[in-house]
Structure 1
């Protein structure tokens, strides 16, 4: 007779130990930070393609199509010029008020649209999130790229307005490139911050228009902020001076040659403040979004 083979019993392991032994991972687990950044870079072509598709679809049903990327900020500028510049007289003391106003509207509008799109980046793409596996930060980053593409049209119009209203073409215009890069980093951080918040609080997108409108009025878009806050309470001065949109708007005006009366040492300080906000919000927003990666698409 054949001799029976005696085998040792398989050692009892906890499910976690058994999964670790065979290299299994929890479905939907958050990857490490370095791995997440690498994956996001690997999906860069998807992000750009998704942003392009969103950009094309924005006004696809309108007869004038992509021309609305230019007409929308110009229409806003005309309305605000009538109300604030003519009726309320905020143009007094500002030499080139049309260029001053348009610079503020276009630069603030970039951040405003990114925050609005970022707030809905997760909640409006739940079918995509549940169907495909990809780093979810792709969505708020794509929203930022979409708005940056639209801003390019607005900046072209803004440069035309600056020339038509009497400002010369100067090498200082090149400063717009680092300004917009810093603002894009700042905006991407905001988009990721509000994307996670918007995925938790669905009613946030109903509240954001009021928040953004308040932010708009406190950013010196329609008036000289330094003169407006002279008689304001001390707490209001501090709050307005810490407004992260102020350095981006003022640096843009300075680069375009629009007279803001800002001394050189203050311009240097604004560069430092803009860089600080871009770094803090850009990195902080990314880390905050990454920590919630496993939450998106559930519920």
Structure 2
């Protein structure tokens, strides 16, 4: 007569009934790419400052290696843009009327706005174009948009010698005001880095943003007094519209640079409270962009 033999009961795991999160907490495990607190994240970012500068320098060096003229294109590109815009706006449309030293005025606007424009464009692609690096190495992802901003700053500094030469050749004297270029560039760099981080997060989530940004930036450029003196048209706009236009951060930084380099751009011709606005935009966009980017730290490189 066959007898039924009961199989021994399987041992019950001590972790049975626990969720994966509870198991991880029990054994001291954590997500490999978990977002650290903001102060810790900032310390990690500072520890990698040498990586940021080395990455930026290497990318800048490699940028024009396939071009016959190499690094000369860093200067030739904004100069050619200035020549085209001078022909269209200065000669054909006559926006140079009532603006002394229009050539250095125009070139300064183009060089300074180009810094912001290229920082935003490269920042928008900084995460999506470097997924291999993000997935292979562990580092604060904010290194990437900041590094691309440093690349554009290096290009602008390289071009400032040419801009200074243009200013002097056109008869504008050298003055101590030129020293104001340094704080103006620092504030604009902080603003650009914050804006690049904002666009980096958006661009990582919605890759089509990179295709849309050139149109948005071109509109921004036309509103920023790059080709004309905005004060010459103040009578055509309501008072509150002029306040909005004068608060445009691109116009603020361009105005500061023009005031520093061109003696005919006097403090009276600048937007009201221009230094306060430059500092305010840098602090607001720089910090807000940093926090906005940090909040999505765990999402970069996924999918």
TM-score under structure 1 length normalisation: 0.92
Matched, 1:161 2:157: no
2:232 maps to which residue?
227
1:122–1:195 CA contact under 8 A, matched in 2:
yes
Q: Distance in 2 between matches of 1:55 and 1:245?
A: 24
Unaligned runs of 5+ in 1: 1-8
Aligned to 2:290: 286
Residues 16-25 or 27-36, more deviating = 16-25
Question: Mapping of 1:1-299 within 5 angstroms?
Answer: 14-233=19-238, 236-263=241-268, 269-299=273-303
Conserved in 2, the CA contact under 8 Å of 1:251 and 1:267?
no
Compute the displacement of 1:46 (Å).
1.2
Kept after mapping to 1: 8 A contact 2:246/2:271? no
Query: Alpha-carbon deviation of 1:268?
Result: 7.2
Matched positions, count: 290
Who is 1:3 aligned against? none
CA displacement at 1:20 relative to structure 2: 2.6
Cα pair 1:111 1:187 within 8 Å, conserved: yes
Change (3 A) 1:11 1:92: closer
Closer/same/farther in 2, CA of residues 221 and 11 from structure 1, 3 Å limit: closer
Deviation of 1:234 (Å): 5.4
Q: Check conservation: 1:122, 1:199, Cα contact below 8 A.
A: yes
> CA–CA distance in 1 between the matches of 2:15 and 2:151?
55
Closer, same or farther: CA 11–194 of 1 in aligned 2, 3 Å: closer
Instruction: Indicate how the Cα distance of structure 1 residues 156 and 20 shifts in structure 2: closer, same or farther if over 3 A, else same.
Output: same
Q: Give the TM-score taking structure 2 as reference length.
A: 0.91
Deviation per CA, 1:139-187, whole angstroms, max 9, x where unpaired?
A: 0000000000000121111111111111111111111000000000000
Give how far 1:131 is off.
1.2
Q: Secondary structure at the match of 2:235?
A: coil
The RMSD of aligned alpha carbons is 1.8
Query: For the residues of structure 2 that align with 1:268 and 1:255, how far apart are their CA atoms?
Result: 16
Q: Distance in 2 between matches of 1:183 and 1:30?
A: 28
User: 164-173 or 269-278, which moves further after superposition?
Assistant: 164-173
